[in-house]
Chain A
Amino acid sequence: MNVSRTVKYEEELDADFANEIAAMPGGEKIWDCIQCGTCSAICPVSVYMDKTPRRIIGMIRAGFKDEVLSSVSPWICTSCYSCTVECPADIKITDIMYSIKRMAMEQKTYRRFVIPDIEDEFVKMVWKNGRLSEAKMGMKVARKSGLRNLISMVPLAWKLSRRNRLKLFHTERMANPEQLRIVLNAMQEHPPELHVKKPGVVPTHHHEAVTT
């Protein structure tokens, strides 16, 4: 059988990771965490996360950068802000989840699955039309999440379009999206994330496989 030894050596941790997160909006109080787990317990989806929010915060403070940036937890987060409201240390956990997602996107370290792709599509669409066309978006999502899913959605799509709630061939767009693009382009001149320092090199995983 295969057993594997997992160990983290100090030099593999990124001591600055916590400061990077702390420098982003909402992360200011990350050092105040008392690891009480209220966030994980109130979170409606923590039970589906690979690492609970409390553990994410703990790992950030310890410098487990690559583990955190490759975790699916932030992508499962539905931004319901329960953790943020309940946190006794007043830590804006939802915002920290956003920060992690942005860093992961930027450094392409996120786990490849449908949600990041959706977010990406969403941004592209808004960039193009200034607004979102639910039908088109829905189609893209359904396609990404597999043929079976696509088919399973057909009856619903039909019902909704009959009630004129799903405009299959209509594109929701601004009169002149370039007005918006002027603003967005101006923003692009700035680094994508406020105050964030240059992200360090992503360290590699360290599992030693032992076969017995």
Chain B
Amino acid sequence: MSESEKPRIGVYVCDCGLNILGVVDVPAVIQYASTLDNVVVSREYKYMCSDPGQDIIKKDIKDLKLNRVIVASCTPSLHERTFRTTVSTAGLNQFLFHMVNIREAVSWVTTDKKKATEKAKTLIKAGVMRVTLQEALEPKTEPVIPEVLVIGGGIAGIHASLSVASAGAKLHLVEREPSIGGNMARFDKTFPTLDCASCILTPKMTTLRVHPNIKLYSYSEVVGVEGYVGNFEVTIEKKPRYVNEDLCIGCLKCVEACVYKDARFPNAFDLGLAKRKPIYIPFPQAVPMRVLIDPNDCLKIKLGKCKMTCVESCEKDAIDFDMKPERLTVKVGSIIVTTGFKPFDPRRKPQYGYGVYPNVYTALEAERLLSPTGPTEGTPLLQDGTMPKSVGIIHCIGSRDENTNVYCSKVCCMYSLKLAHLVKERTGAEVYNFYIDMRTAGKGYEEFYKKLLEEGVKFVRGRVAELTTAPLSNAERGKLILRVEDTLAGYVRRIPVDMVILSVGLEPQNDAQELRRMLNLSCGKDGFLIELHPKLAPVSTATDGIYIAGACQGPKDIPDTVAQAGAAAAEALALVHKGMVEIEPYAAVTNEDLCSGCQICVGLCPYYAIEYDAEKKVSRVKDVMCKGCGVCVAACPSGAMDQKHFRDAFVTAEVAGVI
């Protein structure tokens, strides 16, 4: 075949508009490239990745009988796939192509044009030396298990699950809380349309519950993930509810019957603002509608003695005090991560008196106060049970702040407006919004802001510096006094209010890092999961077959979250539909003549992909199981190991080239 003949290399340098051309003297680079050994042709084009750009390469491969191709443009993580397809459609094996990065690694990071040009030349030289040696390979293909796992049952997870399941694929949804619904279930209304959150969420939740393709693991957590794209093995741990989920019908007789006549334990769903019994359902619309027992509160479990009136009351006798955590494993082809966010803890900003003054609430607490199913049945009240006459809503708590989170949490402006509207509607109180910048980019958002301006909600452009109870005037007595500069009026103001709502920002979940490790993903400086490409692969990750959606990727409102969830579902379905995946054929190979059978490699391989052939006394790599990290190759004392496409010879050639 043609590859075995003398190498005939084509070098294609991309201007990338001015991205590369603006810094690198491309004509000089082509000129230089043409002088390199085995280079038959070297060309410049403004956008190599465009169709005409690719056509140039295809044409040359045919006309000039090229058997090696170099494209010098952006980073391989962006367009390696593109150009591999280009060359293979022209009949050249895709692994006889090599990509040289002269944008992210040269033009974008170098000021001195001369030096940039030199660097580009050197890298291309190295690329040519490498590709000269490269050999034809066939990508491994593996079947894809046609099932999908979704981690996290908030609105993102719910939407993704329904999309995947309704397309016919089997879906596993794991939710750590006793019910799905996430934070959206806590809201009363949603901005800017003010439609009732549970009215739009609950139907989705129940549909999910009864969907034939969906297996819901509530009150469960993913504790282990093995495998790779198309073939993941996931370990799930079900926490004990002490109530048999399959028997329980959610009649709540047991709750009624509990020896605790009144609820006295803080309910997590209401953020501790309301109370529940030791045996309870998280909230009225919970899915699954199944009771559970908190072992820390239940007398029977804690002290071993109790009248156990709950057991008597249960006709299905579903209650089981000896329930233990169970583990089970499922095999899926892809995973969608929708683990959401956690609200910023305002105790980290002591100047706002959260936890000190009872009438200072976080926005999420306010959502509960405003919910008809919440502790105050929808009308926010002060601790003394009276209605607030004035309420201050402080934006950007923990956000846009070098001491906490530098990023803007994006949703706070809008939810603050929503809260302002609802508080005014329910209490008639004077409502102040304290904002730094009003960010209302989104369909109908600016209009909503205008509506509130007309409703007479007060807006003060300035960041509240402190909350004090020390009055300097009679009007301030017994009030929470907010000290702020009205930056538009150019005056420092002291504004007394009865209630304060802190618009806290969104942060990654506490265990985001463990999850990241378990799934082999990466996080940004802010701790949120990183997508593969901010524009072109917004829900993909560096790990093939794992997708992200919703606030686990960054602060996001419901519309954006749902949109992402749909996108992630589509990605997962694409895999299922294709039925197989191509895996880079970078596996290690043993040269059995050189192998001394020392078995060092066997111990090193994290995937148990190397087996020792006792009679031949050689180690052999199981091609399917090898992930191609090359650790064994680097360790082999007798040089018997090598890695496809990353052979010692290739790497050393490239090294020689860059010097």
Q: CB–CB under 8 A between A and B in the complex?
A: yes
A40, A87, A88: which contacts B492 (Cβ < 8 A)?
A40
The answer to the question of B658 belonging to the interface, with a C-beta cut-off of 8 Å to chain A, is no
Contact with A along B429-466 (1 / 0, CB 8 A): 00000001100000000000000000000000111111
Q: B437 near A40 (CB under 8 angstroms)?
A: no
| Residue of chain B at shortest CB distance from A49 | B492
Complex CA–CA separation, A113 to B485 (angstroms): 27
Q: B485 near A41 (CB under 8 angstroms)?
A: yes
Residues on B with C-beta less than 8 A from A36 are 396, 400, 436, 462-463, 487
- Chain B nearest CB from A40 CB (Å) reads 4
B351, B437, B461, B485: which contacts A46 (Cβ < 8 A)?
B485
Complex CA–CA separation, A176 to B325 (angstroms): 79
Complex CA–CA separation, A39 to B396 (angstroms): 16
Q: Which applies to chain B's interface (DSSP): helix, strand, loop or mixed?
A: loop
The answer to the question of A55 belonging to the interface, with a C-beta cut-off of 8 Å to chain B, is yes
Q: A41 near B492 (CB under 8 angstroms)?
A: yes
Q: A86 near B487 (CB under 8 angstroms)?
A: no
- Chain B nearest CB from A50 CB (Å) reads 11
The answer to the question of A76 belonging to the interface, with a C-beta cut-off of 8 Å to chain B, is no
Q: B462 near A37 (CB under 8 angstroms)?
A: yes
Q: A88 near B490 (CB under 8 angstroms)?
A: no
Q: A37 near B487 (CB under 8 angstroms)?
A: yes
Complex CA–CA separation, A32 to B401 (angstroms): 11
- Chain A nearest CB from B268 CB (Å) reads 31
Contact with A along B233-265 (1 / 0, CB 8 A): 000000000000000000000000000000000
B403, B436, B466, B492: which contacts A90 (Cβ < 8 A)?
B403
- Chain A nearest CB from B459 CB (Å) reads 14
Complex CA–CA separation, A89 to B486 (angstroms): 18
Complex CA–CA separation, A41 to B467 (angstroms): 11
Q: B490 near A41 (CB under 8 angstroms)?
A: no
Q: B401 near A47 (CB under 8 angstroms)?
A: no
The answer to the question of B402 belonging to the interface, with a C-beta cut-off of 8 Å to chain A, is yes
Q: B487 near A35 (CB under 8 angstroms)?
A: yes
Complex CA–CA separation, A52 to B436 (angstroms): 16
- B interface residues, tally (CB under 8 Å): 21
| Residue of chain A at shortest CB distance from B401 | A88
Q: B436 near A41 (CB under 8 angstroms)?
A: no
Q: B492 near A86 (CB under 8 angstroms)?
A: no
Within 8 A of B (CB), among A12-55: 32, 34-43, 46-47, 52, 54-55
Q: B436 near A34 (CB under 8 angstroms)?
A: yes
The answer to the question of B483 belonging to the interface, with a C-beta cut-off of 8 Å to chain A, is yes
Residues on A with C-beta less than 8 A from B436 are 34-36
Q: B463 near A88 (CB under 8 angstroms)?
A: yes
A32, A40, A87: which contacts B485 (Cβ < 8 A)?
A40
Contact with A along B472-492 (1 / 0, CB 8 A): 000000000001111100101
- A interface residues, tally (CB under 8 Å): 21
Contact with A along B396-421 (1 / 0, CB 8 A): 10001111000000000000000000
Q: A41 near B464 (CB under 8 angstroms)?
A: yes
Q: A52 near B402 (CB under 8 angstroms)?
A: no
- Chain B nearest CB from A38 CB (Å) reads 5
Q: A52 near B351 (CB under 8 angstroms)?
A: no
Complex CA–CA separation, A42 to B461 (angstroms): 15
Complex CA–CA separation, A28 to B4 (angstroms): 61
Complex CA–CA separation, A47 to B400 (angstroms): 26
Within 8 A of B (CB), among A82-115: 86-90
A37, A46, A88: which contacts B400 (Cβ < 8 A)?
A88
| Residue of chain A at shortest CB distance from B485 | A37
Q: When A41-B462, A42-B483 are in contact, do A34 and B402 touch as well, CB less than 8 Å? A: no
Residues on A with C-beta less than 8 A from B437 are 34
A32, A35, A86, A90: which contacts B465 (Cβ < 8 A)?
A86
Residues on B with C-beta less than 8 A from A32 are 402
Complex CA–CA separation, A12 to B466 (angstroms): 38
Q: B490 near A52 (CB under 8 angstroms)?
A: yes
Q: When A37-B463, A41-B464, A41-B466 are in contact, do A89 and B485 touch as well, CB less than 8 Å? A: no
Contact with A along B281-294 (1 / 0, CB 8 A): 00000000000000
Residues on A with C-beta less than 8 A from B492 are 40-41, 43, 46-47, 52
Q: When A47-B492, A52-B485 are in contact, do A88 and B465 touch as well, CB less than 8 Å? A: no
Residues on A with C-beta less than 8 A from B396 are 36, 88
Complex CA–CA separation, A52 to B486 (angstroms): 11
Q: When A46-B485, A54-B485 are in contact, do A38 and B490 touch as well, CB less than 8 Å? A: no
A-B contact pairs, 6 of them (CB 8 A): A32-B402, A36-B400, A36-B487, A42-B483, A54-B485, A90-B402
Return the 3 tightest CB-CB contacts between A and B, nearest first. A37-B485, A41-B465, A36-B463
